[in-house]
Every structure is written in structure tokens, then in C-alpha cells.
Chains A and B, each alone.
Chain A
């Protein structure tokens, strides 16, 4: 089942912070986060594994609450380059299994 992301859209000024949430009704093995700019492929940002390990981007952090099957992506001191659509992808088994993506959160950072 598709994870649910919130909010659907965010507009920020440069330097402001944002949080994007991803919630699943299924038990999760891992949560991935991707950013997609218009007309381009999704780009990997971060993976969070069951058990707490995470790997990803320097200026972006995330959390994964396994019990609640929720993940949040934290974008701090946003830059214009952060603009795009953020997708969470969830895997129920193994970190190389299929991902089910949320509907996306559109982030627009203005000067």
C-alpha cells in the first residue's frame, strides 16, 4: 500500500526549514527519500533502515520511527536548489526490494 506524505506542498524562503512526513500502514524494513526536479529522474537522498542505520546527504537529515511506521525528512537552512518534489519510498523486505513511493511533496524555495 502506498505511503502517505504530508504536506502535499510547501513554499519557503531561502534559509527557512521544512519537514516532510511519510507514513505507512505496513511494517517497514527501510525508507528511502528522493528528490525529483521537473523533467528529471528522481535522485537518491537518504535511506533509513530498520534498526536505526541511515546513510545519505550531508545537509539533509531524517528520522525513522519503526513502531509508528513513519519517517520524516528535515531540510534545514533551505537553498534555492532544494526546490523540487520529494518522494518517500518504502520497502517491506530487504534494502534491495521494490519501493512503493508516496504521492510526493512539492517544495518551492523562493529567494
Chain B
């Protein structure tokens, strides 16, 4: 069964550093998303991406966040200057119907 692949699985970074989270969505899917989940809490929408541009973003997705699809297969989320409260599990998802989530990147900001 096709999978959404995320790397790295775990990233520890110092506050103020930039991080890039990577995702390879399912190849024939057209819609891509980033969600995050703070430990033990609900899954929160960050951004949706379609036709090489952001289609919708949440209030969480401020100027510190950006997304790119640099080469037609990878889909990246960049956090420019990480804060302690950015610590969470970040999930990439792609969809043609129901969402397929990647296994996530656990980001720890220290």
C-alpha cells in the first residue's frame, strides 16, 4: 500500500534554530498538508498545499513557517526560528479521498 514518508523521525534543535521537516507524499495525490500534535492533544491543522501553492493556512502558520515542493516529489516544512512551544509531532498528509498520514517527525526544541 502506498505510504507517506517523513524524515527525520526525531529532531532535537536549540531554540532559535531553523529546522526543515521533509515529506514524500503519495505520488498521485494532489493535496498535501502539514498538521501538528502536541503530546496527548488533538491534531491541529497548519497548512494545505495544492498546485504548488498554499491553499489554506491556520493562524498557527505564521511568518516563521513556510512550505515548499522543491522538486515535484518532496514536500517540506521549514520553521525559521524555533520556539519551545513548537515542540510537537509534525505529520505530513496527502489525500485523494481520506488522508494518508506519514509516521511523523517528533520535534523537540530545547
The DSSP consensus for interface residues of chain B is strand
What are the residues of chain B within 8 A of A103 when measuring CB–CB? 41-42
Interface-located stretch among A15-23, A38-46, A58-66: A38-46
Interface-located stretch among B11-19, B43-51, B80-88: B43-51
Select B97's contact among A43, A55, A99, beta carbons within 8 Å. Answer: A55
B103 near A41: Cβ-Cβ < 8 Å: yes
Interface size on A, residues (CB 8 A): 24
- Whether a CB of chain A sits under 8 angstroms from the CB of B75 is no
Question: For A32, A34, A44, A46, which residue has the most chain B Cβ atoms within 10 angstroms?
Answer: A44
What are the residues of chain A within 8 A of B99 when measuring CB–CB? 32, 34, 42, 44, 89, 99
Contact of A44 with B42 at beta-carbon distance under 8 Å, contacts A96-B31, A98-B56 already known: no
Select B91's contact among A41, A46, A47, A98, beta carbons within 8 Å. Answer: A41
Select A97's contact among B44, B48, B98, B102, beta carbons within 8 Å. Answer: B48
What are the residues of chain B within 8 A of A44 when measuring CB–CB? 98-101
What are the residues of chain A within 8 A of B100 when measuring CB–CB? 44
Known: A41-B103, A102-B42. 7 other contacts (CB 8 A): A32-B99, A41-B102, A87-B42, A97-B56, A100-B45, A103-B41, A104-B42
**Which B residues are closer than 8 A to A by beta carbons?**
30-31, 33, 41-45, 48, 50, 56, 58, 91, 95-104
How near does chain B come to A6, taking the closest CB pair, in angstroms?
Answer: 14
B44 near A43: Cβ-Cβ < 8 Å: no
- When chains A and B are docked, how far (Å) is the Cα of A98 from the Cα of B103? 19
**Residue on B nearest A36 in the bound complex, by CB:** B43
A41 near B42: Cβ-Cβ < 8 Å: no
- Whether a CB of chain B sits under 8 angstroms from the CB of A69 is no
* 17 A-B residue pairs with CB within 8 Å: A32-B98, A34-B101, A41-B101, A41-B104, A42-B91, A42-B99, A43-B101, A47-B98, A96-B30, A96-B31, A96-B95, A96-B96, A97-B56, A98-B33, A98-B48, A101-B44, A104-B42
